[in-house]
Amino acid sequence: MDKIDRAALELREMDELAAMKSPVHFMHPITKLIITISYILTVVSYGKYDLSGLLIMALYPLFLFSLSGISMGICFRKMRVVLPLVCAVGLFNPFFDRTPLFSFGGIVISGGVVSMITLMLKGVLCLQASFLLAATTSMDSLCAALRRLHVPMLMVTLLLLTYRYVSVMVQEVSIMTTAYKLRAPGQRGIHISAWGSFLGQLLLRSMDRAEELYASMQLRGFDGSFRYAEGKKAGFPDYLWAVLLPIVFLLLRKYNLAELTGRLLMSAGS
Amino acid sequence: MICFEHVSFSYTEGHPVLKDLNFAIRDGESVGLIGANGSGKSTLLRVLLGLLPHRGSVRVDELEVEKENLREVRRRLGLVLQNSDSQMFMPTVAEDMMFGLLNYGMSREEAEERTDEVLKKLGLTELKRRHNHRISGGEKRMAAIATILAMDPDTMLMDEPTSALDPYNRRVVINSIKSLSNTKLIASHDLDMILDTCSRVILLGGGRIAADGPASEILQNRTLLESNRLELPLRYQR
ipTM: 0.85
**Distance (Å) from the alpha carbon of A97 to chain B's nearest alpha carbon:** 49
Size of interface A-B (CB pairs under 8 A): 67
Range in A63-72, A159-168, B58-67, B101-110 the model is least confident about = A159-168
Residue B187 has pLDDT above 90, yes or no: yes
Residue A140 near chain B (CB below 8 Å): yes
Q: Tell the burial category of A30 from Cβ atoms under 10 Å away from its Cβ (0-12, 13-18, 19+).
A: buried
Q: Residue A143, Cα to own-chain centre: how many angstroms? A: 15
Residue B92 near chain A (CB below 8 Å): yes
> Do residue A222 and residue B99 have CB atoms under 8 angstroms apart?
yes
Range in A64-73, A139-148, A226-235 the model is least confident about = A226-235
Q: What confidence score (pLDDT) does residue B40 get?
A: 93
For the segment B28-33, the average pLDDT, to the nearest whole number, is 96
For the segment B210-232, the average pLDDT, to the nearest whole number, is 95
Residue B63 near chain A (CB below 8 Å): no
**Distance (Å) from the alpha carbon of B35 to chain A's nearest alpha carbon:** 22
Residue of B nearest to A171 (CA): B85
Residue A193 has pLDDT above 80, yes or no: yes
Nearest-Å Rg of the Cα atoms of chain B is: 18
DSSP state of B131: B
> Do residue B51 and residue A218 have CB atoms under 8 angstroms apart?
yes
Greater pLDDT, B44 or A147: B44
Residues B174 and B191 sit within 8 Å (Cβ to Cβ): no
Name the band, by pLDDT with cuts 50, 70 and 90, for residue A108: confident
Q: For residue B218, which phi and psi values (nearest 5 degrees)?
A: -65, -40
Q: What confidence score (pLDDT) does residue A1 get?
A: 57
Predicted confidence (pLDDT) per residue in A37-82, tens digit: 999 999 999 998 888 889 999 999 999 999 999 999 999 888 888 8
Please state the domain extents for chain A.
1-150+235-260, 152-219
Compute CA distances B191 → A126, A185, B17, whole Å. Answer: 57, 39, 22
Residues B128 and B119 sit within 8 Å (Cβ to Cβ): yes
**Most A-contacting residue of B90, B147, B149 (CB-CB within 10 A), to test interface:** B90
Name the band, by pLDDT with cuts 50, 70 and 90, for residue B182: very high
Q: What confidence score (pLDDT) does residue B56 get?
A: 96
Give dist(CA B46, CA B49) in Å, integer. 5
Greater pLDDT, B59 or B168: B59
Mean pLDDT across chain A, nearest whole number?
Answer: 87
Out of A72-86, A97-111, B143-157, the most confident range is B143-157
Residue B130 near chain A (CB below 8 Å): no
Q: What confidence score (pLDDT) does residue B48 get?
A: 96
Q: What confidence score (pLDDT) does residue A68 get?
A: 93
Count CA within 13 A, CB hemisphere, residue A183. Answer: 8
Pick from A138, A171, A220: which is nearest to B100 by CB? A220
For the segment A194-209, the average pLDDT, to the nearest whole number, is 90
For the segment B105-112, the average pLDDT, to the nearest whole number, is 91
For B65, the enclosing helix (H) or strand (E) is none
Strands B30-35 and B15-25: unpaired
Name the band, by pLDDT with cuts 50, 70 and 90, for residue B116: very high
Pick from A212, A218, A223: which is nearest to B83 by CB? A212
Of B138, B133, B148, B121, the C-alpha closest to B173 is B138
pTM of the shown model: 0.79
Predicted confidence (pLDDT) per residue in A167-189, tens digit: 888 888 888 888 888 888 878 88
